[in-house]
Structure 1
Amino acid sequence: MRQNKQWADRGAAGQQAQQHYLVEPRHLAGGGDLRHVTEYLRASGWKDKSKTGGPVVFDSPDKSVRIGYDPHVQPGGWTISGKQTAHQEAWHATFSRQTPVEIVAGLTDALFTTRNAHAPNVWEPLLQQGWETERGQHFTARSPDGDAFVRFHQSSPGQAHWWAGARNEHGRVWEAMFTPTTPMRLVQALSTALADPQPVMRPLGHIAPSQRIRTTSVSVLPSQLSAWQQARITAARAATWARSSFATNRARSSPGARPSSTAGSGRR
């Protein structure tokens, strides 16, 4: 209760600093706070379909993508599914429970970005951070510490299978899998987040049991934690507003467009 009150009373005098840790490499940091993903979705206008005591479920405004998290099934974790559209086949991506939320958010945040004019390159972010590639039964890129990987295998034309994951001295920590129809820009967003050398923050008592991680102890005020979270939420809302305004203005300026119907389609 006291901690919740501290989060609510941002900037209140006499706050007690809490011990957190900056953990690196991020691929061995453990799952983290689900709100890093879910609050961004909520701020971006996604519908929370979760039931009390049940799995987390969010639907995109146009209902074309569903994101869920369920720790109560095996293997459990994140599922991101896209419905078939006029320009995209149905696709599916999964992340096991201990996938760091910052890495999951690499993919989910990319759902809100515009498509780049250049063709996606999954390997480029990894190579820029010193990952090494090897060609065997599968084409694989491995992190400098050897504990994380991204793997590709093409079983036949149009059947490109992608995996990613990490392991420590105790074995496999997490794994991500993508259907061949998953948009490549989303797989690249995953590899970008995975290769990011920046450490991630975890509270005391939530550090993965591994000798292969490096930690730096930091004292953080509850108001600071709340402000950092709010900054991410504010960015999501601003981006959502910008996309909506752009779509509406573009629809209104279309030659021969009827104002009543175009404005509605722009908002959708």
Structure 2
Amino acid sequence: MAVSPAQRASYAADHLYKIPFHSSPRHLAGPGDPRHVTHALLAAGWAVTSAPGDPRLVLTGPDHARHRLLLDPLAHSYWKIDAADRSWYASFDQLVPVEIVAGFTDRLISGPRRKDLGPWQRMTRAGWTVERRPDGTGKAHSPGSHRLWVESEQRYEDDPTRLTWQIQARPDYDRPLVWRMWINGIVPEHLLDGLAEQLVATTPVVRGMYEYGGDSIRQEPSGLSPEQVVEAYTARLEAVRKLVRAERRSRRLTTSLPAPAPPGTVPSPVPHR
């Protein structure tokens, strides 16, 4: 399902009146616009499967409905993403910035990449304090006072592949929790890597002036115009569409190639004309 002209126009109308500011630290900048996540999934072919009039939005992936996203404004776990076979699920509080949520959901679209590092190595390279355990679990925290805390534990002792990840954001260690995310089950490594890539990023995110307004947030003029913010949104959707089209072409080429000859056989000669 593509993003409709009406959906694009609604996004533009909401952002053309806002003065863009760079907000940091990014993990405390507030939720942002959820359409950063949902419209990208729609551009990738996901479909709205929630009932008309339901305040909860359900999106189902095109990959034989193997993945589902639930956006529930009525629940504390604002975002819920899961696999249809119940092998894993992820939940994100409402104040998790959409850029961090998209680190996870964008990789549902793009799949694994050659430059994937894995979450622990990505955090280590970014200068986080990381403690690994022999069983593959561990804990880590970001540098500075406005820290992100990450911990993974085994969910079942007899199945080391089923881990529970808990990630928390706090302005300071002795201050109240701002948001939390939970990830449980056998989660594909590339999804965790995409999430970690956004967790360790230090670039500010764009928000409207005074948007969210937590006392730990620093806002500075971004130099962007509202029109440029809308253009970046449009470019993001176009990039997703191009990626999906390229993957479809690649799959068609792969399936159209002739099957390899069995070992030890000699291909038939091509007759001369």
TM range (shorter): 0.7 to 0.9
Instruction: Mark the CA change 1:96 to 1:18 in structure 2 (over 3 Å): closer, same or farther.
Output: closer
Is the contact made by 1:32 and 1:100 (CA closer than 8 Å) also made in structure 2?
yes
Name the structure 1 match of 2:104. 107
Instruction: Mark the CA change 1:6 to 1:238 in structure 2 (over 3 Å): closer, same or farther.
Output: closer
Name the structure 1 match of 2:266. none
The percent of aligned pairs where both chains have the same amino acid is 29
Following superposition, the deviation at residue 36 of structure 1 comes to 0.4
- Pick one of 67, 70, 74 that aligns with 1:68: 70
Equivalent runs, 1:23-172 vs 2, <5 Å? 23-50=23-50, 51-52=52-53, 54-61=55-62, 62-73=64-75, 75-84=76-85, 90-116=87-113, 121-134=118-131, 139-146=138-145, 147-154=147-154, 156=157, 157-158=159-160, 159-168=162-171, 170-172=175-177
Task: Find the residue that maps to 2:170 and give its secondary structure.
Answer: strand
- Pick one of 245, 248, 253 that aligns with 2:257: 253
CA distance in 2: counterparts of 1:22 and 1:172, whole angstroms? 23
TM-score (normalised: structure 1): 0.80
Count of residues paired in the alignment: 240
Task: Find the residue that maps to 1:168 and give its secondary structure.
Answer: coil
TM-score (normalised: structure 2): 0.79
Moved over 3 A (4+): 4-8, 50-53, 116-120
Following superposition, the deviation at residue 160 of structure 1 comes to 2.1
CA distance in 1: counterparts of 2:142 and 2:11, whole angstroms? 39
What CA RMSD, in Å, does the superposition of the two structures yield over aligned residues? 2.6
Cα-to-partner distance string for 1:122-151 (whole Å, 9 max, x where unaligned): 112212221112479x73211112421111
Instruction: Mark the CA change 1:111 to 1:22 in structure 2 (over 3 Å): closer, same or farther.
Output: same
Structure 1, unaligned stretches of length 5 or more? 9-15, 257-268
Following superposition, the deviation at residue 83 of structure 1 comes to 1.9
Is the contact made by 1:19 and 1:219 (CA closer than 8 Å) also made in structure 2?
no
Is the contact made by 2:58 and 2:70 (CA closer than 8 Å) also made in structure 1?
yes
Structure 2, unaligned stretches of length 5 or more? 1-8, 261-273
CA distance in 2: counterparts of 1:52 and 1:251, whole angstroms? 41
CA distance in 2: counterparts of 1:219 and 1:139, whole angstroms? 40
Name the structure 1 match of 2:21. 21
- Pick one of 187, 202, 207 that aligns with 1:202: 207
Is the contact made by 2:87 and 2:185 (CA closer than 8 Å) also made in structure 1?
no
Is the contact made by 2:28 and 2:178 (CA closer than 8 Å) also made in structure 1?
yes
Q: Which one-letter code corresponds to 2:67 in the other structure?
A: V
Name the structure 2 match of 1:13. none
Greater Cα radius of gyration, structure 1 or 2: 2
Is the contact made by 1:24 and 1:214 (CA closer than 8 Å) also made in structure 2?
yes
Cα-to-partner distance string for 1:138-169 (whole Å, 9 max, x where unaligned): 73211112421111122524232211120125
Is the contact made by 1:17 and 1:220 (CA closer than 8 Å) also made in structure 2?
no
